């Protein structure tokens, strides 16, 4: 019975690890990368999209209530994504301990007619201890990220000559 239990634990662990679809970078400074100035890469209608947000959780922070020794940050949701987009975290439960790295993979396939600018709101919860003693939990948001979806490009050009032989030169004209 112990062997079966051990095997089940091992298989479960492997399954959870294989579900993690991004690998955290080695980051030494707390923060979220890319930042909201660099922002997320654009998407194009009809083209599969995938991008990774990297993060390193801070160790402590000072707010209006005092100094909080951070235990973890939990990602609760990402709101405002285009239809058909989703996210996955590493670790898969979307919670990161203080002073650790993690990542979030955003994926989707923008449909035709979905061009536009999608403003994301990342909802999270910081858990820690106020003054290092009192349990503390605070909801927060990360605003400023967006995914811009561009319309599907349409080729419109002509060429001269339209009939040619091997090694002939052809000129293309953008219409």
Strands 95-97 and 157-160: unpaired
Alpha-carbon gap, residue 83 to 135, rounded angstroms: 38
CA Rg value for the chain: 23
**3-class secondary-structure state, position 34:** coil
Q: What is the pLDDT of residues 5-17, one digit of tens each?
A: 444 444 344 444 4
Q: Which residues are 123's β-sheet partners?
A: 77, 141
**What is the pTM (predicted TM-score) of this model?**
0.76
Q: What is the pLDDT of residues 85-125, one digit of tens each?
A: 999 999 999 999 999 999 999 999 999 999 999 999 999 99
């Amino acid at each position: 019975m112990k062997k079966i239990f051990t095997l089940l634990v091992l298989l479960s662990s492997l399954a959870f690890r294989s579900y993690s679809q991004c690998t955290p970078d080695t980051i030494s400074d707390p923060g979220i990368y890319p930042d909201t100035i660099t922002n997320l890469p654009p998407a194009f209608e009809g083209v599969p999209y995938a991008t990774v947000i990297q993060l390193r959780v801070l160790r402590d922070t000072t707010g209006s209530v005092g100094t909080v020794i951070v235990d973890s940050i939990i990602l609760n949701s990402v709101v405002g994504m285009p239809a058909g987009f989703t996210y996955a975290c590493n670790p898969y439960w979307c919670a990161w301990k203080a002073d650790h790295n993690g990542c979030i993979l955003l994926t989707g396939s923008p449909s035709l007619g979905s061009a536009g600018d999608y403003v994301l709101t990342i909802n999270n919860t910081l858990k820690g201890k106020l003054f290092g003693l009192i349990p503390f939990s605070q909801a927060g948001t990360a605003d400023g990220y967006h995914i811009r979806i561009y319309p599907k490009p349409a080729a419109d050009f002509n060429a001269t000559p339209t009939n040619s032989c091997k090694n002939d030169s052809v000129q293309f004209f953008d219409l």
